[in-house]
Amino acid sequence: MDRPTNSTCPEGFLDRLDAFSQIGTTDDGGVDRVEASPANGLARRELARRMEAAGYRVLVDGIGNMFGLLELAEQFAGQEAPWVFAGSHIDSQPKGGRLDGAYGVLAALEAGQALKERLAGRPAKANLAVVAWTGEEGARFQPSLLGSSVHAGILPLEQALARKDGNGVSVADALDAIGFRGRDQAPKPSAYVELHVECAPALENSNTRLGVFDRWWGAHKLELLFTGATAHTGPTPMAKRKDALLAAAEVITGLRRLADAAPAGALHTSVGRLEVLPNSPNVVPDSAKLFIEIRSVDAKVMADTHARLMELIPYAATLARVAHRIVRDEYRAPGAFEIGLRTLAREEADHLGILPMSLETIAAHDAMPVAKLCPSVVIAVPSRDGLCHSPREWTDPRDLELGVAWLGGILERLVVDGPESV
């Protein structure tokens, strides 16, 4: 049933979003709320406080995912009523922006609260859960999408808890330190909607205020270690050196050349992090660890590029006279969001007088692992200059409010008519 829902953005939403971004604020307007850091713990506490104040029952599961439950359907559909999920994440990059993730969680919280008031006891077929997934960013703990992958059954809980950060601190210990390794059993979703800032410039470039992600790009994420031998950078003859950093350099530029040789926009490659030891100006590096990413929407391009990388690595190692080892190689296949939810999102945008743009997401979102469990979708408002993972991240406040109203309309349809209706 497609009918207007009268969903609007709750008054004062922008002020409350502003107040939330003071937690872990950096002096340049961004936030630093890396997963399970003290600032992340404070943000989690504030989220729980807001959820409880708005009438949600708060659960924290074994990987620290936070759920705010609104039992809207129980009296009509009993204990077995399905759950509609909405949310995102409140962890950030070390120099992250204030909207990436937090906007979607707070929008879901307030849209859900407003929906409950709007329903005022009207029959509903589904309950609503607002969720903040653990470790979406992958800044401190890899892989990214940690909490949603556990909830979706893609990553076993014990494996996720054993993951360690760069200082050897495990996810389990880090969550314990902030008091957010929970024991609650959360319900499973029957539909999931994630509102996010676009993190790309397509909406801005086309002067469109709302977007629906149709597909997501796949990603290969690898950690590659080159091991050579330390020596004095002065007297050691060039031919005798076993320079791990030289091999790394060859892979870094080689990967870039693969992307440059592909059709425009078909392939993105990167080495975003490099750990060099002993990292001294006058010592030949004996260890270089690279964090490599290969991304494309085309599974064949992904496979071909991975194969080329597997040729490039031994070539680089031989050139630099070092050993090589792949420490981690994780693959996330490209895919599509469910058509029914995308259509519903478009209808609701239409009620707001907007024709939404079709988008592809290159960045990862929690809706991707959740898509293994149930229909899921990511909807977006514009990002100025396409920027995310930056303190300069910004979205027009009117678009932020429009996004909340849009989400509210989508959630109302899903909750009232039931997720099986889409």
List residues binding Zn ion (CB under 5 A).
Answer: 100-101
Nearer to Zn ion, 249 or 387 (CB): 387
Work out how close the CB of 78 gets to Zn ion at its nearest, in angstroms, rounded to a whole number. 35
CB of residue 108 to Zn ion, shortest distance in Å: 13
Smallest separation, CB 26 to Zn ion (Å):
17
**CB of 103 or CB of 226, closer to Zn ion:** 103
**Cα distances (Å, whole numbers) of residue 409 to 64, 69, 101, 114, 401:** 29, 18, 20, 10, 13
Say whether the peptide bond before residue 369 is cis (omega within 30 degrees of 0). no
Q: What is the closest distance, in whole angstroms, from the C-beta atom of residue 393 to Zn ion in the complex?
A: 10
DSSP structure string for 324-342: EEEEEEEEE--EE--HHHH
Q: Could you write out the DSSP letters of every residue in 4-17? A: -----PPTTHHHHH
Chain residue whose CB lies nearest Zn ion: 101
Q: Of the candidates 161, 159, 152, which has an alpha carbon nearest to the alpha carbon of residue 188?
A: 152
- Give whichever of 23 and 247 is closer to Zn ion, judged by the CB atom: 23
Q: Quick one: 144 or 230, whose CB is closer to Zn ion?
A: 144
CB of 14 to Zn ion, least distance (A): 19
Closest CB to Zn ion among 43 and 309?
43
Least distance (Å) between residue 34 CB and Zn ion:
13
CB-based contacts of 93: which residues, under 8 Å, 6+ apart? 34, 100, 137, 139, 389
Q: What's phi and psi for 96, nearest 5 deg? A: -90, 175
| DSSP three-state, residue 34 | coil
Query: Of 225 and 381, which CB lies nearer to Zn ion in the complex structure?
Result: 381
**φ, ψ for residue 250 (rounded to 5)?**
-65, -40
Kindly give, in sequence order, each residue whose CB lies less than 8 Å from that of residue 92, ignoring residues fewer than 6 positions away.
24, 30, 31, 32, 33, 34, 40, 100, 101, 102, 137, 139
Residue 168 Cβ, how far from Zn ion at the closest point, in Å?
Answer: 26
**Residue 85 · residue 193 · CB < 8 Å:** yes
C-beta of 194 vs 250, nearer to Zn ion: 194
> Taking the mean position of all CA atoms in its chain, how far away is CA 246?
33
